[in-house]
Amino acid sequence: MRKRAAIVGAAAALLLGATATTGAAQAADDPGALIVGGHDATEQYDWMASLQQSGQHSCGGSLIDERWVLTAAHCVDGADPAALGLRIGSPDHTTGGTEAGVATVVVHPDYATGAPSGDIALLELDRAVPNEPIELAETSGEPGTASRIIGWGLTCPVRGCGQPPVQLQELDTQVVPDSMCTLGFVDGGTEICTGGGLLANACFGDSGGPQLEGTPGDWRLTGVTSRLGSLVPACGTAPSIYTDATAYADWIQQHTG
């Protein structure tokens, strides 16, 4: 885990997939964030999940065990598990891969407090799936650490500017200093500030999806897409904030075994 250096901004950030209310958002009806400035995925991510409601992509997720998917709390808080479905391992969120239902939703207790941290949740599948899970990294890395983000979020920077892509998108980026996410209430101990450059970052519809470190074919999960890191409601205008999954390793292990 990186050193805890909580930095509180002057105003609330915009969640990538839900409208912020009092710090904790309800489950979103519209997609979360999309990746702006990326491109079609260049490799197979057998563990990548599309979280779906009414047959439509709503958020991303990562298979971390044959029966468990990790996603963002704001994607599923208050949701009925029976209304959720997952498509795992397909670069096309409309077809292919492995389909599964959700038996249980476990939202981290910190999320209910309205604090900026705790935007992480576990989904227990209704059956074990054959896909290969992704492993959790040991740490999330210091500023300058190279990382990759993937998702089906919008590829244009504002809500309503277009339709989410059918094909999975990816973008190579890096961890940046927490001070660059000041307006997003970033918590340095449990969150990661990640920048992709001008008009290049996560966007609406990417929520819950992974931040990765490693090399092609050998990725480790470090973060979960959470929200924009600035007041400007446009993607790619500032770094985005990711829940540091490595900071919640004990909580994840407690529930998944």
d(CA 2, CA 188): 7
Round to whole Å and give the CA distance between 233 and 186.
17
119 pLDDT band, cuts 50/70/90, is very high
Active site residues: 74, 119, 207
Q: Above 70 in pLDDT, residue 130?
A: yes
pLDDT the model gives residue 32: 40
DSSP state letters, 109-165? GGGGGT-S----EEEEESS---SPPPPBPS----TT-EEEEEES--SSSSTTSSPPP
* pLDDT higher at 49 or 1: 49
The helix/strand/coil state of 254 is helix
Tell me if 184 sits within 8 A of 117, measured CB to CB: no
Compute the distance between CA of residue 79 and CA of residue 27 in angstroms, rounded to an integer. 6
pLDDT digit string (tens) for 186-234? 888 999 999 866 556 777 778 899 999 999 989 999 999 998 776 666 6
Let me know: does 49 contact 69? Beta carbons within 8 Å.
Answer: yes
CA distance 176 to 2: 12
Please give the span between the terminal C-alpha atoms of the chain, in angstroms, as a whole number.
21
Report pLDDT for 230. Answer: 67
Contact status, residue 164 vs residue 156, Cβ threshold 8 Å: no
Which ranges in 55-121 belong to alpha helices (H)?
A: 73-76
Percent of the chain with pLDDT over 70: 74
Tell me how many degrees the CA angle 159-25-115 measures, rounded to the nearest 5: 120
Q: Give pTM, 2 decimals.
A: 0.84
Nearest to 214 by CA among 169, 153, 150, 167: 150
pLDDT range class, residue 12, cuts 50, 70, 90 = very low
Element (H, E) at 249: helix 249-256
pLDDT tier at 9 (50, 70, 90 boundaries)? very low
Query: Helices (H) and strands (E) in the chain — how many of each?
Result: 2, 13
Contact 167, 45 (CB under 8 A): no
Q: Return the pLDDT at 74.
A: 93
